[in-house]
Amino acid sequence: MTESQTTGRLYGVGLGPGDPSLVTVRAAELIGKADVVAYHSARHGRSIARTIADRYLTGGQIEEKLVYPITVETTDHPGGYRGALDDFYEEASARLAAHLDAGRDVVVLAEGDPLFYGSYQHMHKRLAHRYPTEVVPGVTSVSAAAARLGVPLVEAEETLTIIPGTLPEEELTARLASADSAVVMKLGRTFPAVRRALERAGRLEDARYVERAYMAGERTGPLAEVDPGSVPYFSVAVLPSKVARLESSELSESVEGLAGDGVESEAEGEVVVVGTGPAGPLWLTPEARGALAAATDLVGYTTYLDRVPVRPGQLRHGSDNKVEAERAEFALDLARRGRKVAVVSSGDPGVFAMATAVLEASCSDPYRSVRVRVLPGMTAAHAAASRVGAPLGHDYAVISLSDRLKPWEVIAKRLKAAAEADLVIAIYNPGSKSRTTQVGLARDLLLEHRAGDTPVVMARDVGGPTERVRTVRLAELDPAEVDMRTLLLIGSTQTQAVPRTDGTQVVWTPRRYPDA
């Protein structure tokens, strides 16, 4: 090659899911004009990509068969499976580089899309920065599977999650539970774990199976009916759009129509009490997110319901904050009629929240047969503690100052006991418009057992738009600055509030007690 000659161009060409007629016009043009056509294959030498592209080849091109040295993770290579593949990719890219240096245009064939779980990407990472490169997109297996099933993947504000089936089963379960719609790739030997994960996430009934979409031997159907021993690598699991499913079902009928006759439904309903954490979606667990999305009905205090995204086909039943018992019975009544009900509870539902009310009601007639589950959430004390350091690093007590359901004498007795035991104290429900004296009374009682300079963390609306967290001395705690959205963390005699060089202050309680 003379100095005036240029290098060849590298093309990563997507071929779509298998049917040659789904190859794009641009892909067909490039395959026909290429000097070199490269494609990956296993040791048996057969290449699906080569088969798809066959009708577009001219017969006069150089063909570079990139044969994988291994297809399973068992190898005696000193670098293990990853090391063996890295060596292969280096050798393969060097072969293609030789053609490019000689001025030849190289097309690397890729099933589906070149940069979507494709083998081409390993050539791209090694060559694209050295040679002129173009990537031609192709129809992915995800789009092909949805088309073959004839169902929408996502609609409105739904999100689509793409998951490799090679993830650990626990991770698969968490991601499937929290997904609106999902596609699980790379099945084959991972299928049993994927199926178990779908079942544990409560999504197996909705899951669909697609094998070899747009290829010979194509198969589709309910995933639950598939024999695990028959599943090849070229198959996917699909959780289609929930919006489409809900709109096509009978879930849009009014709750009055369902509940009007007072007779239990043959459908199996349940109540799931869901902890949403102290603020927005960043602190919502995947399990809780999945339960909220799967529910036919949401029941809760209106302020907390407003934090949950609106989904078509899902009914929302908001109420005042002071009707916990009525709210619990309403949710259980819905479940008796076959509804899947999520009772929305801020923070953790078992900490001064809705789990107790629902469980208490469920232990009496006529609700004893209704299935009830409780899903945990981050409680406000832990969220507040994280903002300042680790004030709950040692033993601590959790006490509500609300005297609406218990007398002040009981609260005072418990505060005194916790103070005498030298526990850090997390105080919930410190004050409201109708309760203005409790914070001052609690402060004065604690000062009988704690020094005036004991650190007190005042955390308001943690995780919310008006968050304010600061640390004051116990003697300086001003009740006027405390409301129902504020949580107090009262330090023990060992709790430290230490200034940092950046101007902040960290609060922590040592795990080791003096003389331990």
* pLDDT reported for residue 75: 64
Cβ atoms of 408 and 480 closer than 8 Å: no
Q: What is the pLDDT of residues 440-450, one digit of tens each?
A: 999 999 999 99
- Output the DSSP codes for 91-153: HHHHHHHHHHHTT--EEEEESB-TTSS-THHHHHHHHTTTS-EEEE----HHHHHHHHHT--S
Cβ atoms of 240 and 147 closer than 8 Å: no
3-state secondary structure of 43: coil
Paired tokens of 38: 């490269």
3 pLDDT more than 70: no
Q: What is the pLDDT of residues 328-376, one digit of tens each?
A: 999 999 999 999 999 999 999 999 999 999 999 999 999 999 999 999 9
229-247: burial string, b at 16+ Cβ within 10 Å, e else: eebeebbbbbbbbbbbbbe
Cβ atoms of 64 and 95 closer than 8 Å: yes
Cβ atoms of 304 and 344 closer than 8 Å: yes
253 pLDDT more than 90: no
**In terms of Cα–Cα distance, which of 205, 165, 192 is closest to 294?**
205
* pLDDT reported for residue 4: 45
* pLDDT reported for residue 26: 98
* pLDDT reported for residue 249: 55
Amino acid at 100: L
Helix (H) or strand (E) run with residue 66 in it: strand 62-67
Percentage of the chain with pLDDT > 90?
73
* pLDDT reported for residue 247: 60
Model confidence at 251, pLDDT cuts 50, 70, 90, reads: very low
Q: What is the pLDDT of residues 42-65, one digit of tens each?
A: 888 789 999 999 999 998 899 999
Q: What is the pLDDT of residues 471-500, one digit of tens each?
A: 999 999 999 999 888 999 999 999 999 999
Q: Could you give all domains of the chain from N- to C-terminal order, each with its CATH number?
A: 10-137 (3.40.1010.10), 142-246 (3.30.950.10), 269-375 (3.40.1010.10), 381-508 (3.30.950.10)
- Output the DSSP codes for 216-245: TT-EEEEGGGS-GGG--SSEEEEE--HHHH
Cβ atoms of 311 and 294 closer than 8 Å: no
pTM of the model: 0.78
* pLDDT reported for residue 478: 93
Q: What is the pLDDT of residues 131-145, one digit of tens each?
A: 999 999 999 999 999
Report the chain's mean pLDDT, rounded to a whole number: 90
